[in-house]
Amino acid sequence: MPSLDDVFSGSGLLAKAINGFSPRQAQTDMAKAVASAITHADSLIVEAGTGTGKTFAYLAPVLLSKGKAIVSTGTKNLQEQLFHRDLPVIKKALASNRKTALLKGRANYLCLHRLAQHGGNSTLVESDVLSELSIVRDWANTTKTGDMGEVKTLPEDARVIPLVTSTVDNCLGRDCPDYEDCYLVKARKKAMDADIVVVNHHLFFADMALRDTGFGELIPEADCIIFDEAHQIPEIASEYFGEAISTRQLTEICKEITLLYRTVLKDADQLEKAGEKVRMLAADLRILFADKPQRGHWLEAMEREDVATQVSRLEDAVGVLYDICKLHIGRDKDLDNLFDRIVQSREKLALFTTQEHDGMSLWYETTPRHIVMHMTPLSIAAKFRRFVESDDRGWVFTSATLVVDNDFTHFQRRMGLEKAKTMLLDSPFDYAKQAMLCVPRYLPEPHMPTMRKQLVNIAKKLIKASGGRCFLLFTSHAALQEVASALEEQIDNPVLVQGSTSKQALLSAYLSDPAAVLLGTGAFWEGVDVRGNDLVCVMIDKLPFAAPDDPLLQARLEECRKKGGNPFGSIQIPQAVITLKQGAGRLIRDPADAGVLVICDNRLVTKPYAQTFLGSLPPMKRTRDLAEVEQFLRQIEHKEAVTEE
């Protein structure tokens, strides 16, 4: 078996397999630390700067080890990139025959039973969904995996997808008539048989939550678990360690009752009427809140008499539905499953009609048509610590953005990983030569009305100097829309705005036009890899502090105060630093890249905490003079023109 030095050296296996591969000491060091964590069943946290090559640094020791490994990434796109692009390259280089599998969440796989349910009942499906259903039926005749991602003609948010995929709630499991042919069961079986399984964080924590009830399948088998993009874990884990119920879930139950009434249980008219009552009351509850999607404190909402009354009516109606459904148990497998879901909904609704729960935040969020009630733990540290320490296996947490001012404490405290080993690896890029950081002079305060106009003026100068090829990143949709609207009127460059189409379509449009400018919020702050001359300027409107009116954040800040802590210093600043590092990380992705990062927030100069932010960013050349920035951008363009000649 080759050693890690054999893999990563200048004449090693990767150098022979990959054109242009150059050895990086940081990559080799990380690989050895990961191998040690696997061998000794330790916990390891690694911040690996952009360009370190962290993916190969953890895949090589995983492929060279003997046990089963789970690799979890932040998104489905990264998951597919890892499985289809990175893993095959390093497997071939190492001549490894270890079995690998890609496993997505159940909502990504066609459910044959639900497709059949909607097969002959087009009257229950809106007309605009019928054409999508037809596309799925045609594809279903040829697919071998049942992975909905294969249907490229369907948008990511196609309304047909929930109709032809299953959820934990509506899956019949072994009672399903299509169980033997189930694509999800086949994918899970392949994952159970594989040596290395690539999942995403949502799927991992869903499986972890199920483990508490005895149904988690994947995790107990693993000898090593690796989290890439680990900075996302605290928020994602919190979702799965809490409880939630939405009017959408109740509406789905009622729709399925109607479907059963019209097809199988035609004598159960009282059941259908009870379901319709729940559906109407759920819709009426949503109407009591503002049209515009919002978040708020649930207990404060319950202080309103109209909300409390409506929730009480909804609870009573779900109780009636429970009583009637109970009378029909045993008549149909789908109905038995619906009864279980009604029981769970009833129990969850009860959680939101009682008073405060210690260590939990009760909050709500609205979508255009529904309301979701959440009960989220304020800290997952104790629970996650117990989970990590309960089994003898290696744990690796890695990302380009885990430390705050060269300190891992924030991440360690949030995850309960105070005993974990840590490793900080700087990027190999020469930021002092490749990049420039600018905080422009004479900026208004971020909250002042004149700030938006100033952002437009700065953006115009940057776009003119670079000829396009800019990302303009915003901390709010309102700022994004206002600046986008102004730029569309004042510049000739194509202005691509997040929300106008899918993320992938926007990126494709951006990459196909060198004059394009892309404006985005959260989705474009991370997980976007634009290399070379396609991106030479990133402008950020202000420091990305979380919205102060976010109810979950407020609850965490209050909890910190109660314990005598400094919530601004220990929660708000570290989270904003990590987000800023993600946004800044879009700029330099390659040793040959060059570009400018412009942060339009004078707090980076005036506030005592400025050094924490600046100390966490790469060591770029700094300026406050926009003219110097424009000159740097023109130099980049000139170099490119000379190179092309």
Other beta carbons less than 10 A from residue 568's beta carbon: 12
Co-location of 470 and 578 in the same domain: yes
Q: What is the DSSP string of 112-149?
A: HHHHHHTTS-GGGS-HHHHHHHHHHHHHHTT-SS-BGG
- 599 near 543, Cβ under 8 Å? yes
Distance between CA atoms of residues 610 and 600, nearest Å: 13
Amino acid at 122: S
Q: Is the pLDDT reported for residue 60 higher than 90?
A: yes
Q: Is the pLDDT reported for residue 642 higher than 50?
A: no
Quick one: which of 211, 208, 242 has its CA closest to 227?
Answer: 208
Co-location of 294 and 371 in the same domain: yes
* pLDDT bucket at 639, cuts 50 / 70 / 90: low
Please classify residue 179 by burial: count the beta carbons closer than 10 Å to its beta carbon, then call 0-12 exposed, 13-18 middle and 19+ buried. middle
Element (H, E) at 341: helix 333-351
Sign of CA dihedral 411, 415, 419, 420: negative
Q: What is the pTM of this model?
A: 0.90
List, in sequence order, every residue forming a beta bridge with 225; answer none if it has no partner: 70, 395
What tens digit of pLDDT does each residue of 491-503 get? 999 999 998 877 8
Provide the 8-state DSSP code for 428. Answer: S
What tens digit of pLDDT does each residue of 137-162 get? 999 999 999 998 888 888 777 888 88
Co-location of 517 and 438 in the same domain: yes
* pLDDT bucket at 105, cuts 50 / 70 / 90: confident
Co-location of 539 and 639 in the same domain: yes
List, in sequence order, every residue forming a beta bridge with 496; answer none if it has no partner: 518
| Tokens, residue 401 | 């953005």
Co-location of 574 and 626 in the same domain: yes
Q: Is residue 388 part of a domain?
A: no
Distance between CA atoms of residues 434 and 235, nearest Å: 33
Q: Is residue 69 part of a domain?
A: yes
Q: Is residue 356 part of a domain?
A: yes
Quick one: which of 102, 291, 265 has its CA closest to 183?
Answer: 102
Q: Is residue 572 part of a domain?
A: yes
Sign of CA dihedral 89, 92, 93, 99: positive
The count of domains in the chain is: 4
Residue partners of 550: CB distance under 8 A and separation at least 6: 295
Give the chain's mean pLDDT: 91
What tens digit of pLDDT does each residue of 512-556 get? 999 999 999 988 998 888 988 899 999 999 999 998 889 999 999
Q: Is residue 232 part of a domain?
A: no
Co-location of 491 and 582 in the same domain: yes
Q: Is residue 169 part of a domain?
A: yes
- 595 near 587, Cβ under 8 Å? yes
- Return the SS3 of 570: helix
Buried b (16+ CB within 10 A) or exposed e, 339-353: bebbebbeebbebbe
Q: What is the mean pLDDT of residues 378-407?
A: 93
Co-location of 621 and 475 in the same domain: yes
Residue partners of 145: CB distance under 8 A and separation at least 6: 109, 183, 186, 187
Q: Name residue, tokens 């009636």.
A: 320
- Return the SS3 of 496: strand
CATH at 332: 1.10.275.40
Of 38-47, 111-120, 561-570, give the lowest mean pLDDT range. Answer: 111-120
Q: Is residue 449 part of a domain?
A: yes
- 103 near 187, Cβ under 8 Å? yes
- 268 near 328, Cβ under 8 Å? yes
Other beta carbons less than 10 A from residue 11's beta carbon: 8
- 471 near 518, Cβ under 8 Å? yes
Strands (E), 335-393: 360-366, 371-377
Show the domain range for 500: 431-644
Distance between CA atoms of residues 275 and 405, nearest Å: 55
Query: In this prediction, what percent of the chain has a pLDDT beyond 90?
Result: 72
Q: Is the pLDDT reported for residue 641 higher than 60?
A: no
Co-location of 325 and 469 in the same domain: no
- 560 near 567, Cβ under 8 Å? yes
Side-chain-side CA neighbours of 60 within 13 Å: the count stands at 29
Q: How far apart are the first and last CA of the chain?
A: 48
Quick one: which of 586, 579, 595, 587 has its CA closest to 636?
Answer: 595
Q: Is residue 158 part of a domain?
A: yes
Other beta carbons less than 10 A from residue 599's beta carbon: 26
Task: Please state at what angle helix 333-351 crosses helix 247-263, rounded to 10 degrees.
Answer: 160
pLDDT at residue number 411: 97
Amino acid at 513: D
Distance between CA atoms of residues 401 and 231, nearest Å: 7
pLDDT at residue number 214: 44
Sign of CA dihedral 520, 521, 522, 523: negative
How far, in whole angstroms, is CA 274 from its chain's centroid? 37
Q: What is the mean pLDDT of residues 249-277?
A: 91
Q: What is the mean pLDDT of residues 108-116?
A: 91
Q: Is the pLDDT reported for residue 171 higher than 90?
A: no
pLDDT at residue number 635: 87
CA distances from 239 to 71, 233, 398 (A): 20, 10, 21
- 521 near 480, Cβ under 8 Å? yes
- Return the SS3 of 316: helix
Q: Is the pLDDT reported for residue 109 higher than 50?
A: yes
What tens digit of pLDDT does each residue of 10-34 get? 899 999 999 888 899 999 999 999 9
pLDDT at residue number 271: 92
Co-location of 269 and 199 in the same domain: no
Q: What is the DSSP string of 189-213?
A: HHHHH-SEEEEEHHHHHHHHHHHTT
Amino acid at 597: L
Q: What is the mean pLDDT of residues 382-403?
A: 93
Rg (CA), the chain: 26
- Give the phi and the psi of residue 449 in degrees, each rounded to 5: -60, -30
Quick one: which of 255, 238, 241 has its CA closest to 162?
Answer: 255
Co-location of 217 and 348 in the same domain: no
* pLDDT bucket at 645, cuts 50 / 70 / 90: very low
What tens digit of pLDDT does each residue of 290-341 get? 999 999 999 999 999 999 999 999 999 999 999 999 998 888 888 898 999 9
**In the chain, what are the helix, strand and coil shares in percent, each to the nearest 5?**
55, 15, 35
Distance between CA atoms of residues 472 and 518, nearest Å: 6
pLDDT at residue number 202: 92
Residue partners of 385: CB distance under 8 A and separation at least 6: 415, 416, 417
Co-location of 282 and 144 in the same domain: no
Q: Is the pLDDT reported for residue 122 higher than 70?
A: no
Co-location of 56 and 130 in the same domain: no
| Tokens, residue 273 | 């009427």
pLDDT at residue number 390: 86
Of 59-63, 264-268, 560-564, give the lowest mean pLDDT range. Answer: 264-268
CATH at 210: 3.40.50.300
Sign of CA dihedral 545, 550, 551, 552: negative
